[in-house]
Chain A
Amino acid sequence: MTRQQDPVVSSSFREAIFVVSIWLIAMVWTISVCYSMGYNRPVEDLKFVYGFPDWVFWGIIVPWCASTVVSCLFSALLFRDGALGEDVENTDDLGLGG
């Protein structure tokens, strides 16, 4: 007899994979832009975008806003609600209740 995996487990795992990729993309974007535009840069040719140094704007502010939008979209569209189930009484040898 094979039993079916709880849908909460499968959906959580799918979402976890998605979230980890978002983290990786955010990391690559932020660090590569900041490093290439901001590290050891001569101050003379530093430009400002809306008051931020340009590398801060493109390397931190923009991805931060993008991540916030992605997080909101993720929780609105991708994250699947499901029943978490009732508390099972402790099933080990002692059978401790709450």
Chain B
Amino acid sequence: MLETMLQSLAIFSADWFMLFAADAPAPRAGYGASFMLLLFILGSVWIGILANRATSGGGFMKGFFLGNRGLGAWALALTATVQSGGTFMGFPSLVYKHGWIVGLWIASYMVVPITGFGIIGKRLAHLSRRTGAVTVPDLFRTRFNSPAVGLTCTIFLLLYMSFLMFAQFKAGAIVMQLAWPDTTDIAIAEDITPAAETSYTVGFAGVTVTLTRYHIGLMLFTFVVVGYTLIGGFLGAVWTDLFQSLLMFVGVMILLYASLTAVGGLENASLTSLKHTGPGYVTGPGYNSVEGAPDFLPLSLAISFFVVWVWGGVGTPAGLVRLMASQDTAVIRKSIYLLSLYNMGIYMPLIVICICGRALIPDLEHTDEIIPRLALMTTSKWPASSFVAGLILAAPFGAVMATVSSYLVVLSSAVVRDIYQRFVNPVADRNHLRIAAWCTMIFAGVLSVAINWNPVQFLQAFIVFSTSGAAATFLVPAVMACYWRRANSSGILTSMLSGAITVLVLYAVGIAQQLMQAQANAPTSFRPIFLLGFDPLIWGLMTSIVLGVTVTLLTDPPDEDLVSRMFDVIES
């Protein structure tokens, strides 16, 4: 959730105009980064194989797509709702640009652990067993005994997840570039042009193709991610994600120490960066280097983000699936404190690090590069500095990889469970299901390479839309399914559709306006309409609640027997 929103924020920003502005040549990452990346890839494949062994018993569907409902506390806590690529790229860039106010922007992460697991976590894990559900559409379908609800859910899920996933491949390909030992592109930013200057001509069976590093990176990335996801399934995706989260924690701790020492204390960092910028850097509503740009965080958006991060986190399909897969209630309970300690240890230090960054490297144009640059700069005198920097550089790569892998699992589970098994071959055996799952993933991989072959900027607009859209579509229905005995299929359908349509309309109108305003050249940014200053997700959730509840009350109550099967003690 966070990471995709962050990626899009990068385009909202005025940096777009500075596409070709040049920074001082970056210090080179050297072989450390390539080595760490290789290590990471090997680690992921190994994890995939372990995961494959761990789930080889029992039915294929629950094993491959849910890890036999065996997620432990660490795996659930550090992967279900948290940070990813954006934590090391977009978020630091925001702090670097706007100052301390970004602390308020992210402040709701203080309660995300307790809300993410405490609101519907336990009940959803319970309900998924009561329904025998493997996927989110599966759960809704059985809970309301309604094929229409299941199908609507499947369609939305496939739509959002495809958009989200295709765009991630591009980020993955760009990170691969940074691992070339002689590269100077050290961060993943939307505005880095793929390194087209270096190309390789490859001949195969009489056909010659000219490939750039971007293309090689794209294919390599796809091959690795699809490969280990095929082997490891859901559990492989979750374990790699855990591995990456721990790596990130280590990286942040090293960098916190390194940058505070380099700048000579936090107060000093604030005062020095204040000198380089303006009063907005240490006060609200934030600093903006461009004259006349809108305030970074007016009060209405501060409130919006406190709602968006919290409730958006509860409603993401990939997050819901992980709750369904958790082993028991003790796992959910332990996850709450693990994640609350982890979040405190990641976000507050990152803010401090980036404030130090502004003091140490005052005038960066490509602000996404702040973390890698800071890593290279502050550790340059350390022994084995190339590897320390490589560790920090490898973290965003791991994050993107883990994200793609988990989306791939959700996507293929929906195809295999809710389409293939439901409509094509209900009696498919283990081998059929495995082949169907593999084909879906390989197909998704090939399609992603094809779509990203010439990188499309426009996809970013769909990412933001998909993230908000998914939350607006699934959150209210999920809460209703969990706690409201009176909820019926008509109400759920209304709630899903109205939430989705509200967000869609607000985005479509916003984008259309900018397309009309834009001159002959390409539009400069994609942003939705912030009605009364609030984020579209807030409007989506409100319509979803109001219409969902109203329609439920106006239509017949659900079958008492069905409700009882979902809510009451099972008599043996």
- Chain A contacts to B: CB under 8 angstroms: 3-9, 11-13, 15-16, 18-20, 22-23, 26-27, 30-31, 34-35, 38-43, 46, 48, 50-53, 55-56, 59-61, 63-65, 67-68, 70-72, 74-76, 79-82, 84-94, 96-98
B434: interface (CB < 8 Å)? no
- Chain B contacts to A: CB under 8 angstroms: 58-62, 69, 100-101, 103-104, 107-108, 110-111, 113-115, 118-123, 125-126, 129-134, 138, 141-142, 145, 147, 265-267, 269-270, 274, 279, 282-285, 299, 302-303, 306-307, 310, 328-330, 332-334, 336-337, 340-341, 343-344, 348, 417, 421-422, 426, 482-483, 564-565, 567-571
B142 engages A90 (CB within 8 Å): yes
CB distance from B49 to the nearest CB of A (A): 23
State the CA gap A7–B122 with chains docked (Å).
Answer: 11
State the CA gap A11–B267 with chains docked (Å).
Answer: 46
User: Which residue of the partner chain, among A15, A43, A94, contacts B118 with CB atoms under 8 Å?
Assistant: A15
Q: How many Cβ-Cβ contacts under 8 Å join chain A to chain B?
A: 225
Q: A70-B114, A79-B118, A81-B330 are in contact. List 10 more A-B contacts (CB 8 A).
A: A9-B567, A12-B482, A38-B283, A52-B100, A56-B103, A64-B110, A67-B111, A81-B333, A85-B129, A85-B130
**What A residues does B426 contact at CB under 8 A?**
94, 96
Given known A6-B569, A34-B302, A79-B336, contact A84–B59 (CB-CB < 8 A): no
A91 engages B131 (CB within 8 Å): yes
CB distance from B310 to the nearest CB of A (A): 6
19 residue pairs from A and B, CB less than 8 Å apart: A6-B567, A7-B569, A8-B123, A13-B483, A19-B114, A23-B111, A27-B306, A42-B279, A51-B266, A51-B270, A64-B107, A67-B340, A68-B343, A71-B111, A71-B336, A74-B118, A79-B332, A81-B329, A96-B422
A5 engages B142 (CB within 8 Å): no
A3 engages B569 (CB within 8 Å): yes
Given known A48-B270, A74-B114, contact A84–B126 (CB-CB < 8 A): yes
A9 engages B123 (CB within 8 Å): yes
Given known A8-B123, A51-B266, A84-B126, contact A31–B279 (CB-CB < 8 A): no
By beta carbon, the residue of chain A nearest B417 is: A96
**What A residues does B114 contact at CB under 8 A?**
19, 22-23, 67, 70-71, 74-75
CB distance from B320 to the nearest CB of A (A): 15
Given known A9-B567, A16-B119, A98-B62, contact A88–B129 (CB-CB < 8 A): yes
CB distance from A63 to the nearest CB of B (A): 6
State the CA gap A74–B279 with chains docked (Å).
Answer: 39
B329 engages A5 (CB within 8 Å): no
State the CA gap A92–B139 with chains docked (Å).
Answer: 11
**What B residues does A19 contact at CB under 8 A?**
111, 114-115, 118-119
B283 engages A23 (CB within 8 Å): no
By beta carbon, the residue of chain B nearest A53 is: B282
State the CA gap A16–B265 with chains docked (Å).
Answer: 41
A27 engages B132 (CB within 8 Å): no
By beta carbon, the residue of chain A nearest B274 is: A43
By beta carbon, the residue of chain B nearest A15 is: B118
User: Which residue of the partner chain, among B104, B421, B565, contacts A91 with CB atoms under 8 Å?
Assistant: B565
**What A residues does B564 contact at CB under 8 A?**
3
By beta carbon, the residue of chain A nearest B340 is: A71
What 4 pairs between A and B have smallest CB-CB spacing? A51-B266, A39-B284, A98-B59, A19-B118
State the CA gap A97–B417 with chains docked (Å).
Answer: 10
CB distance from A98 to the nearest CB of B (A): 4
CB distance from A14 to the nearest CB of B (A): 11
